Structure 1
Amino acid sequence: MKRKKQIQFLLFFCLLVLAGLVSIQYYLVQNTYQLNSKTYINEVKKQIAPVIESTEMDSIEEQFFDEFKNLCLQRVNDSITLMQFRSKAKFMADSIQKLSQLYLQSQFEDYPILKEIRLRAQITQIIFETNGIYDTLLKATENPIIFFGDAIQGNAFNISTGIVQSSADQKKDSVNKNLNYFYKHHQTTDMDISNFQQKIWEKMFGVLIAGIVLIFSVILLFFYMYRSLIKQKKIAEIKTDFANNISHELKTPLTSLNLITKSLEKESAFQNSASARGLVNALSRQNIRIQTIVDRVTESSLEPQKIEEKKIDIVRLLKDVISDFNTPTHDLKNEIYPDTFILTTDAHQMERVVQNLLENAVKYSPEATEILIKSYAKDTFYFIEVTDYGHGIPAPEQKRVFDKFYRIPQGNRHDIKGLGLGLYFCKQIMKALKGAIYIKNSTKKGSTFVLKIPV
């Protein structure tokens, strides 16, 4: 339990570190993006500055504003209506737009960057004063008057913001000597760069790839470390379980040996030859039992035995195994088809596998229950199924039961003898025979183990 908590804490710490690393990477990428954006925008501004600030553009704008101020004066004097003012203002803006557009197109060859951007200059607010009375002809909340470029959808980058006014001093109108006026408007110049984000991400491609590779490398490192810890934990559990199992296996014969040895130490044991002979036979049986346990453990550390395949009647083999298998506690039934079937395999190893499955069925199912062995041919395979009606095998354990020394955990109880090697040997033998062994189904009412043998 302590080791489990340590692994959980380590996993939480790794996830915390990973979240911190991702946050830092995101912050760095975001800052790099903003810095690259500002740098790129400034570069574009510098490239188009000679065009925007040229004398030709100044002349076009000056002509527009002279006419526009006179239009504003007409509106202040009530010479035209508001609707007429807006109509004439739009007409003037459209006219100057055409002139400016022609000028920009003439500069494409010298300034190719102009093809990738859209420019817009607009008046956002107009204030007119006559004889100390202020009149707002265009409010900041109203639609602006675009006199250069086209409307830009979405966010645009500001190039400049300024205030244009006639003069700080009041001037007299040349026609009406008694009229004093003061003109002021706010204007902005903006640009829209096509595929702006794509261009910035292209500049940051190396940084992005490096960041992604770093994060995935850390994730893989954490995953590998976590998997190694889980694997070590499983190995430690298997070792502990194996030690408990082998202690349980050896306890009975060692206890018997101790009792037999104490009996042989008594002089009365040798006075009765029949009694002495019985003790010696018991001693021999327990010795064989211990030797069998040791052999099974030794076999697990050796390479699989050499397979000697030859043609056999698998049906005859199964019937012989069933007739030789003695189990007074269970009802052994069979459904073996067809009556005869020839295939190439190792008879001895196949017999070991079937006997092992039958022994497990007896071990792990209650007494007086049925054990069914059935066989049949299908496609290019011959199938042998051994079904018991025991407690079944939980789904998470169904693959692990074929691992070396693994036994389904039952707390610290070892009510059923075994070293966790039987199914491991079965899997190794079937692999050597180019076949397979698997669990077809397993519920609380029993399990079915299947041998799949190539014909």
Structure 2
Amino acid sequence: MTELKKYKLTAFTGFVILIGILLYLIYNTFELKDRQYQIDVKEKLKQFYVKNISKENIYSGGFSLIDSYLIKNIRSLESEYLKSGSTNNKYTDSLLAVMFEELRVRNPIDSLLEKIRTRHKLNDKLEYLIVINSISLRFRDNKPIPLYDHLKKYPFLESNLQSAQGYIIGGKLKSPKQQNTVTSVSMGPAVPYSYDINVTFFADSNDRQSQIFKSALPVLLLTLFALLLVVFVYYFTFKSWSKQKKISDMKSDFINSITHEFSTPISTIMVANRAIQNEKVFKSKESVTEFTEIIARQTKQLQTLFDQVMDITRVNTEIEKNEVIFCQLLTEVIQDYRIKMNDKNVYFHTQGINNETRVSLNRFWVTTMISNIFDNAIKYSDKTPKEIQIIVDGTPNGLRISIRDNGIGMEEHTIKHLFDKFYRGKNLGREHVSGLGLGMYYVQQCIKIHNWTMQVQSTIGLGSEILIII
């Protein structure tokens, strides 16, 4: 994983964590509003229920109505129970069904709830639900005998009124939950010939979620604004950082590239200097002149390298170009390179190099480009001798320069990444080859700057060819 990818991953992870924290805060805000809403409403309704209803067990008149069914008929219920051994008999079932129906018909909570809505300015969509959870009878032995249990289904009762919470005797609240419970009342004297009853009162708005959302909307909008602001700041900060890093990397790459090229002129100057110190060469005026010219050219190139290192801002596409005879420049580069190699096992074969075509170019860039191509041809060759064939063809529009070697060749994958910065092909047995992987990248940049084109062909074991079209 590259350094930039690591930074991106770290930044993205931090951003996701921040988003998660903000979403968690939004969720908690919503939950807090929800709880506060329930507490306020439930407290008012509980006071209303305890004051107006619970003393009468279910609602005003509810206690008397149940007594009229259960207490009045308790002996008959006991008799039927003893006969059948269960409270599930026709008499008991019929009595229970009629009692539940009358409890529903006489339910006055709707009108009472309207009053409390008005008095406390509650949401007009507030709904309630009263359910009977269970009823038990107590006969002579005072042992509670189940008459109704909300966990069971009774075929003689209306199925749509048998909810998971109990039998509905009033209200239209849909899907009541535990947190909607206003109060739950259990009553019974626990004496012979009596009954026990458990009633639960639920209250909530069927559109409570939207009501909570509206009440929490200012906080949610503020949080959303903060979230968008964070995204905005993150985006521009990361964009600015990426831009600065790219500029920094470009400067570093340029310095590395130029430093990589120092070795060529320095090596050539050292070899030429040693040659001049040779007694036989020193006595030959022509040889001394030839080597001093080489030293002068390489010194000038070295000076150019130093100038560009000192002023990185000069690296751009607007380079200075002059018209030169290309083949004359190519001859000089080959000559300097032969001196640099000083190796009988390296041979240059040229063809068409006497072409007089003039080309507008930057001498420094093109000289370095050709030297880099030669470097790769020599470094990645295991043949003896190592050969470089240079063919120059004139065309109606310019020149075609073919530089072919007899090296180890390249695979398709290597050709694909040949001009990437710092890329070095992994060739078995060539791990010792030195370099930063900037040479061919420099070649491609030079081709682009001059608006030339380049093609690469290679065969494993036979060598490679670089074709430059000017």
Q: Where does the alignment leave 5 or more consecutive residues of structure 1 unmatched?
A: 171-179, 309-319, 333-346, 376-383, 431-436
C-alpha RMSD of the superposition? 5.8
Cα offsets for 1:418-439 (capped at 9, x unmatched): 4954433443455xxxxxx899
CA contact (8 A) 1:93 1:146 kept: no
Give me the whole-angstrom Cα distance separating, in 1, the residues matched to 2:33 and 2:271: 84
Is contact 2:135–2:198 with CA below 8 Å preserved after alignment?
yes
Of residues 51, 70, 73 in structure 2, which corresponds to 1:72? 70
Secondary structure of the 1:68 match is helix
Q: Is 2:304 the counterpart of 1:295?
A: yes
Counterparts of 1:187-226 in structure 2 under 5 Å? 187-201=199-213, 203=216, 204-206=219-221, 208-209=223-224, 212-213=227-228, 216=231
1:88 equivalent to 2:98? Answer yes
Cα deviations across residues 342-388 of structure 1 (Å, max 9, x unaligned)?
xxxxx736999999999877776786899999x9xxxxxxxx99999
The amino acid of 1:145's aligned partner reads: Y
The offset of 1:281, in angstroms, is: 1.6
Query: CA separation in 1, counterparts of 2:458 and 2:40?
Result: 72
CA distance in 2, matches of 1:120, 1:25: 37
- 1:44 is matched with 41
- Residue 32 of structure 1 deviates from its aligned partner by 3.9
1:101 to partner: Cα distance: 3.3
**Pick from 164, 171, 194: which aligns with 1:149?**
171
Whether the aligned pair in 1 keeps the contact of 2:273 and 2:291 (CA below 8 Å) is no
What's the offset of the Cα at 1:284?
0.6
Does the 8 Å contact 2:275/2:281 carry over to 1?
A: no
Q: What does residue 134 of structure 1 align with?
A: 144
Contact 1:119–1:149 (Cα < 8 Å) also in 2: yes
Aligned to 2:187: 165
- Whether the 8 Å contact between 1:361 and 1:371 is mirrored in structure 2 is no
Query: 2:195 — aligned with what?
Result: 183
Give the distance between the partners of 1:33 and 1:442, measured in 2 at CA: 66
| Aligned pairs for 1:328-407 within 5 A | 348=360, 391=410, 397=417, 401=420, 406-407=421-422
CA-to-aligned-CA distance 1:61-109 (integer Å, 9 cap, x gap): 1323321233334373456634314422441243145x43355457766
Give the structure 2 partner of residue 246 of structure 1: 261
After TM superposition, give the deviation of residue 149 of structure 1 in Å.
0.6
Residues 85 and 63 of structure 1: CA distance in aligned 2, closer, same or farther (over 3 Å): same
- 2:265–2:301: 8 Å Cα contact kept in structure 1? no
Task: Output the CA distance in 1 between the equivalents of 2:366 and 2:271.
Answer: 31
Q: Distance in 1 between matches of 2:363 and 2:121?
A: 85
Give secondary structure in 1 for the equivalent of 2:266. helix
Shift of residue 259, structure 1, vs aligned partner:
0.8
The farther-off stretch of 140-149 and 441-450 is 441-450
CA distance in 2, matches of 1:104, 1:450: 92
What per-residue deviation string (whole Å, max 9, x for no partner) do you get for residues 208-227 of structure 1? Answer: 42674587579656797688
Shift of 1:31: 4.4
- In the alignment, the residues of structure 2 paired with residue 226 and residue 29 of structure 1 have an alpha-carbon distance, to the nearest angstrom, of 31
Structure 1 residue 201, shift from structure 2 partner: 4.8
Q: Work out the CA distance in 2 between the residues paired with 1:87 and 1:280.
A: 127
Which amino acid is the alignment partner of residue 280 of structure 1? T
Q: In 2, distance between residues paired with 1:105 and 1:442?
A: 90
> Once structures 1 and 2 are overlaid, which stretch shifts more, 66-75 or 362-371?
362-371
Unpaired runs of 5+ in structure 2? 81-89, 153-163, 335-347, 353-358, 382-386, 426-430
C-alpha displacement of 1:164:
4.0
Q: What letter corresponds to residue 35 of structure 1 in structure 2? A: L
Which amino acid in 1 is paired with 2:179? F
Distance (whole Å) between structure 1 residues aligned to residue 296 and residue 440 of structure 2: 18
**Partner amino acid for 2:203?**
M
Distance 1:235 1:17, change over 3 A: same
Instruction: Measure how far apart 1:136 and its partner are.
Output: 1.8
Give me the whole-angstrom Cα distance separating, in 1, the residues matched to 2:102 and 2:45.
25
Contact 1:119/1:191, CA 8 A, preserved across alignment: yes
1:131-185 Cα shifts (integer Å, max 9, x gaps):
22321222353351212213522635334333342547x5xxxxxxxxx423322
Cα 1:293–1:198 change in 2 (3 A) is farther
AA partner of residue 414 (structure 1): G
CA contact (8 A) 2:320 2:362 kept: no
State the secondary structure of the residue aligned to 2:180.
strand
Distance 2:186 2:221 in 1: 45
Q: 1:150 to 1:195 in 2, by over 3 A?
A: closer
Q: 1:261 to 1:21 in 2, by over 3 A?
A: same
Cα distance per residue 1:22-53 (max 9 Å; x no partner): 67656655544433322121233356567656
Q: Distance in 1 between matches of 2:17 and 2:249?
A: 28
Give me the whole-angstrom Cα distance separating, in 2, the residues matched to 1:164 and 1:363. 97
Secondary structure at 1:413's aligned position in 2? coil
Equivalent residue letter for 2:169:
F
State the AA in 2 paired with 1:205: L
1:448 and 1:93 mapped to 2: Cα distance? 99
What one-letter code is carried by the residue in structure 2 that aligns with 1:158?
A: N
Cα offset, 1:288, TM superposition: 1.0
TM-score w.r.t. the length of structure 1 is: 0.60
SS at match of 2:105: helix
Q: CA distance change for structure 1 residues 370 and 45 in 2, over 3 Å: closer, same or farther?
A: farther
CA separation in 2, counterparts of 1:109 and 1:386? 96
The aligned counterpart of 2:32 is 35
In structure 2, the residue matched to 1:413 is 434
For 1:162, give the aligned amino acid.
Answer: S
Say whether the 8 Å CA contact 2:176–2:202 is kept in structure 1.
Answer: no
For 1:128 and 1:64, the matched residues in 2 are separated by 17
Amino acid at match of 1:34: E
Deviation at 1:239, TM superposition (A): 3.6
Partner residue, 2:448 = 427
Counterpart Cα distance in 2 of 1:9 and 1:414:
26
Distance 2:403 2:97 in 1: 94
Is contact 1:157-1:191 (8 Å) kept? no
Residues matched between the structures, number:
389
Amino acid at match of 2:167: I
**Does the aligned pair in 2 maintain the 1:125–1:138 contact within 8 Å?**
yes
Q: Is the 8 A contact 1:120 1:151 kept in 2?
A: yes
Residue of 122, 126, 137 corresponding to 2:131: 122
Q: Equivalent residue of 2:423, what SS?
A: coil
Structure-2-length-normalised TM-score: 0.59
Q: CA deviation at 1:330?
A: 8.9
Q: 1:107 to 1:350 in 2, by over 3 A?
A: farther
